[in-house]
């Protein structure tokens, strides 16, 4: 019997992305896989697009009834309930850096014999991730920052960014930003810095800024080795943080620093967005923001400072980000029945962290 890959529906609000496009599902079908797709009203691709290429449709959130050998594919977190996790689940688990609830997440798998194949740890032999949303996260997170900054310039310091909804295409987002910049003087552009500029995420951020001819200062490892915190960050209008979190490092900014009366900085986009991690280089906030409430006001006092830190930014541009990610992931999915090296490494990461968990204590 052929292996089944089950694409589950995402239950997170405003999560329109898919890790597998209809076109790439068709490739898996031609390779002999059985592909089941849960119905979804919010996925950027319609159910019919999957059924038209030969996928079997299933009811939303019915993956738990699948045969134990079925591989369950998703993006964001699973429902936090008591159902046994007996399958191999591919998604971003956010549980290996001791984030909030990590023991509970891994414990659910360990208790019932399942495996978390965390997409963040699906790597080649050199440790580079095979599939990532980083470019579009950087692009979208920078767009949100520009929207906040533009709103301040046009409507004044009391401006608060309203709830955001995904765009059907990148062009619609560009049109909206272009309209905002047309309301400003030609020379009025935000002084912007991108930290982590050499990575995928930083590249996406830089590309959008350069599309609008916005001067951008680019920092990466070399520039941040001089020792933090960095008071000079207060001299920029917009700070874009795209640093890939690893071991804890000194904070780029502190709560005390951002209270400076001479601060120019008015917008921070923390695209890395890991406020629960001990490695967070921006420990000036303690919770992620959302599309519904995209900002947190860190400082008021007549000189506002807002931070935006949405943990599923690429969903702002779900079609572009899904297409690129699915294309990157497809070769690995084509090899999953052979349990090739990348999947072995991914499973080893789970084994390493599950050994830390005593299921009788979680």
CA–CA dist 93, 99 (Å, integer): 10
What SS3 class is residue 276? coil
Buried b (16+ CB within 10 A) or exposed e, 259-298: eeeebebbbbbbbbbbbbbebbbbbbbeebbbbeebbbeb
Q: 110 near 359, Cβ under 8 Å? A: yes
Q: Would you call 89 a catalytic residue per the annotation?
A: no
**Distance between CA atoms of 30 and 47, rounded to whole angstroms?**
19
Round to whole Å and give the CA distance between 165 and 131.
24
Given the residues 86, 87, 89, 94, the one annotated as active site: 94
Question: Is residue 338 among the annotated active site residues?
Answer: no
Q: At what angle do helices 200-211 and 134-155 cross, to 10 degrees?
A: 40
**For residue 208, which of 127, 130, 149 has the smallest C-alpha distance?**
149
> Out of 12, 64, 76, 191, which one is annotated catalytic?
76
175-178 contacts, C-beta under 8 A, 24 or more apart: 176/147, 177/143, 177/146, 177/147, 177/150, 177/212, 178/212
Could you list the active site residues? 76, 94
């Amino acid at each position: 019997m052929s292996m089944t890959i089950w694409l589950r529906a995402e239950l997170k609000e405003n999560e329109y992305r898919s890790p597998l496009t209809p076109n790439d599902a068709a490739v898996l079908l031609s390779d002999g896989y059985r592909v089941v797709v849960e119905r979804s009203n919010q996925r950027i691709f319609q159910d019919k697009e999957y059924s038209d290429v030969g996928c079997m449709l299933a009811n939303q959130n019915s993956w738990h009834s699948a045969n134990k050998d079925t591989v369950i594919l998703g993006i964001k977190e699973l429902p936090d309930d008591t159902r046994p996790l007996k399958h191999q689940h591919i998604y971003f688990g956010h549980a290996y850096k001791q984030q909030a609830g990590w023991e509970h997440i891994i414990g659910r798998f360990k208790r019932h014999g399942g495996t978390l194949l965390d997409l963040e740890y699906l790597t080649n032999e050199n440790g580079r991730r095979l599939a990532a949303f980083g470019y579009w996260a950087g692009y979208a997170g920078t767009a949100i920052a520009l929207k906040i900054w533009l709103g301040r310039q046009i409507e004044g310091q009391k401006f608060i960014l309203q709830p955001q909804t995904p765009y059907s295409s990148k062009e619609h987002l560009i049109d909206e930003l272009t309209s905002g910049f047309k309301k400003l003087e030609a020379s009025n552009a935000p002084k912007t810095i991108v930290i982590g500029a050499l990575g995928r995420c930083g590249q996406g951020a830089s590309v959008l800024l350069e599309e609008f001819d916005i001067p951008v200062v680019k920092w990466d490892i070399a520039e941040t080795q001089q020792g933090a915190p960095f008071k000079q960050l207060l001299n920029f209008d917009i700070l874009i943080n795209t640093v890939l979190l690893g071991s804890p490092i000194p904070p780029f900014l502190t709560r005390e620093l951002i209270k400076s009366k001479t601060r120019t900085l008015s917008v921070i986009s923390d695209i890395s967005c890991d406020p629960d991690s001990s490695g967070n280089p921006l420990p000036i906030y303690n919770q992620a923001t959302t599309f519904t409430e995209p900002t947190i006001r860190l400082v008021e006092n007549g000189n506002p400072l807002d931070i935006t830190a949405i943990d599923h930014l690429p969903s702002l541009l779900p079609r572009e980000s899904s297409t690129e990610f699915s294309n990157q992931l497809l070769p690995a999915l084509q090899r999953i029945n052979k349990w090739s090296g990348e999947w072995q490494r991914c499973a080893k990461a789970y084994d390493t962290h599950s050994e830390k968990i005593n299921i009788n204590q979680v």
